[in-house]
Amino acid sequence: MSLFNLLKSNQKSTSPRIYLDTASGTGIDQEVLDAITTYQAQSFGNPSSLHQEGNRAKEDLHQARQAILDFLGDRKGQLIFTASGTEANNLAVFGSVWVYEKKQIRAKGSIVTSSLEHLSIVKPVENLASRGWSTVTIKVDEKGELDFSSLKAVLEARLDVVLISLIYGHNEIGTVWPIADIGQFVEKLRIKRGSVYPLFHIDACQAPRFLDLQVAKLKVDLMTLNGSKVYGPKGVGALYVKAGINLEPFILGGGQEGGLRSGTENVAGAIGLARALKLCAQKKDVDNLALVEKRDWLEQELIKAIPGIVIHGRSTNRLPHNLNFTVPEVESELLLIALDELGFAVSTGSACSLNKDRDNRILTVLYGQAPKEASVRLSLDRKITKKDLQQFLTAIIKIINRQRDM
C-alpha cells in the first residue's frame, strides 16, 4: 500500500489535538498573553522617543530586562533583546570573534564547539572557518555525552581559543551536559593565564523550563534565551552578556540595545519573555517531576510494545520532556504524517526537504551513520496527561502494525 493510500485509509481524529512537539515551539501561557495584551492595549510608544509615551516604553523595557537579569541572578550583566534564539547565537559567535580581531589587529583565533550544536551555531562557525578561523569540534559518544576530558585537553593545549559554545539541554535528544563543571574549569584556566579568554557561551533555549540558569553557578559569559520554547511569545530572544565582556554588533542602525542590536525594540515581546521565564522558575520543580514520570512510563510502554525500537540519548541527565526513538522498518516521515492525521503533533528528523539538516545530522554524529528510518522526537507539554499518552501509544502501535503488515 502506498503512503497516500495508507493515510487516506486513516480517519482524521475529531478529538482535540494532542501536542507533543514543545521543543519546536510551545503555546503561550495565559498569564503571558494577558501581560502582552494589556501592555499593547495601553502603550505603543517607541523607547527611543523623548515624549511621555516613549519614556514609558523605555521604562517598561528596562523593567523587563531587569526581571530577566534577576531570573539569571546577575543584575550587573547586560541583556540584549533579539528577534530569536538564532539571532542571539549569531551575535554571541560573531560579536565575540570580531572584538578579538579588532583588538588583535585582524588576528584569527580558535573556536571550540561540540558535534551536537544547533545549526545557528554550526553555520556561523563554518562561516568564520572559511575566513581563516580555526575550529575544534569536541566529539560525543553514542548517548550524546560530551567528552569532557578531550575538551579540557584542547583548552589546556591551545592558547588561542577565543570562544567555547555549547548547548545546554539538547533540542533533539535532550542530553544535558555539566555546564557548571565546564564553566569552573574555564574560569580557573583564565585566572591561571591572566586572560579574559576563552569566553564561554551556552545555548540555553531549551533549558529555562527545566534547568538552573543562575549564571554565577554556571560560570558562563554569554547565554542565549528564546521565548518560543518557554510558553512565551514568538519573535523574541535574548543574549545575556556578563559585565566586562565586549561584543561587536552585526545589525547596524540606530544603536538600540547598547549599540549591539539596532532596530526598534519589541517591548511587548520583552515583557512576555520576562513573564514566561518567571513562570518557568515557579513551575519548574513540579513540572519536572510530572514530566519525568509520564515520559518514562511512555518509554517503557513503547519498548514493550514495539520490537526493536531504539531510544536515542541518555536515560539520565536528559531534559524531562524529551523522548527520541527510531522504529526499525518504519519511516519516521510516515509515522509523523499518519500521527498528524490522527491528531498528534510530533517531530521527525528524517531526511525530507524540510528536516534534512535536523535530527538525521544528530543521529549521524551519534552513530556514524543515521538509521535509514531516522527518528521520531516527542517533547511533552506541561499540560499533557497520562490519558493523552495512552491515546498516543494506541495510535502509534496501530500505525506501526499496519505498516509492518504491508
State the Cα–Cα distance between residues 64 and 68, nearest whole angstrom: 6
Q: Per-residue DSSP letters for 298-365?
A: HHHHHHHHSTT-EEES-SSSB-TTEEEEE-TTS-HHHHHHHHHHTTEE-EE--SSTTTTTSHHHHHHH
State the Cα–Cα distance between residues 230 and 379, nearest whole angstrom: 12
State the Cα–Cα distance between residues 238 and 205, nearest whole angstrom: 10
Question: DSSP letter at 12?
Answer: P
Whether the Cβ atoms of residue 291 and residue 378 lie closer than 8 Å to each other = no
Distances 59 to 47, 52, 270 between C-alpha atoms, Å:
8, 10, 12
State the Cα–Cα distance between residues 128 and 98, nearest whole angstrom: 10
The dihedrals phi and psi of 232, each to the nearest 5 degrees, come to: -110, -170
Q: Determine which helix (DSSP H) or strand (DSSP E) holds 110, and give its type and residue range.
A: strand 110-114
Q: Which of 211, 208, 226 is nearest to 277 (CA)?
A: 208
One of 290, 305, 310, 352 is an active-site residue; which one? 352
Q: CB-side exposure of 54: number of CA atoms within 13 Å?
A: 7
Q: Residues 6 or more apart from 48 whose CB is under 8 A from it?
A: 54, 58, 254, 256, 264
State the Cα–Cα distance between residues 151 and 114, nearest whole angstrom: 9
State the Cα–Cα distance between residues 40 and 28, nearest whole angstrom: 16
Has 352 been annotated as catalytic?
A: yes
**Catalytically annotated residues:** 352
